[in-house]
Chains A and B, each alone.
Chain A
Amino acid sequence: MSTNKLKNSLRKSNNDMAKQITKENTPIINDMTIYLKASRISELQVEQIRQDLLEMTIAAEQRGDCLKSVIGDDYKAFCDEIIDNAGPKPLIESVKESVYIIAMSAMTLLIIDVIFSGFPARFLKEGIGNAGFDYNIPVTLGFVTSTVIITLVAWLLVYWVGKKAFEMSRGTEELKTKPKSATYPKRILWGLLVGAAVAAFFIMTVNFNEVILFSVHALIIAAVIVALYLATRWAK
Chain B
Amino acid sequence: MLKGTLEGCILKVISNSETYGYEISEKLKANGFPNISEGTIYPLLLRLEKNGSIIATHKSSPLGPKRKYFKLTEEGERELLSFWDKWLEIETAVHQLFDRKGEPGE
A residues near B, CB below 8 A? 17, 20, 49, 52, 54-56, 58-60, 62, 69-72, 78, 81-82, 84-87
Contact = CB atoms under 8 A, between A and B. Distances in A.
Contact of A59 (B40, B47, B65): B65
B68 interface: yes
Nearest to B21: A56
Which 4 pairs, one residue from A and one from B, show the smallest C-beta to C-beta distance?
A: A71-B39, A85-B47, A81-B43, A85-B43
A87 B39 contact: no
Interface string B65-90: 11110000000000000000000000
Contact of B37 (A52, A69, A86): A69
Chain B CB within 10 A, most for which of A49, A52, A69, A86: A52
Contacts of A62: 63-64
A55 B39 contact: no
Contact of B38 (A17, A70, A81): A70
Interface of A is mostly: helix
Size range of the chain B interface in the assembly: 10 to 19
A85 B50 contact: yes
14 contacts: A52-B68, A55-B65, A56-B21, A56-B22, A69-B37, A72-B37, A78-B43, A82-B42, A82-B46, A85-B43, A85-B44, A86-B43, A86-B50, A87-B50
A87 B46 CA distance: 9
Interface of B is mostly: helix
Given A20-B65, A52-B21, A85-B46, 13 more contacts: A52-B42, A56-B39, A58-B64, A59-B65, A62-B64, A71-B37, A72-B40, A82-B43, A84-B43, A85-B43, A85-B47, A85-B50, A86-B47
A54 B66 CA distance: 10
B37 A70 contact: yes
Contacts of B47: 85-86
Interface of B: 21-22, 37-40, 42-44, 46-47, 50, 61, 63-68
Contacts of A86: 43, 46-47, 50
Contacts of B40: 72
A51 to B, nearest CB: 8
Contacts of A85: 43-44, 46-47, 50
B71 to A, nearest CB: 17
Contacts of A54: 65
Given A56-B21, A87-B50, A72 B39 contact: yes
Nearest to B66: A55
B68 A55 contact: yes
Chain B CB within 10 A, most for which of A55, A62, A71: A55
Chain B CB within 10 A, most for which of A17, A62, A85: A85
A230 B97 CA distance: 67
A55 B56 CA distance: 14
A71 B44 CA distance: 13
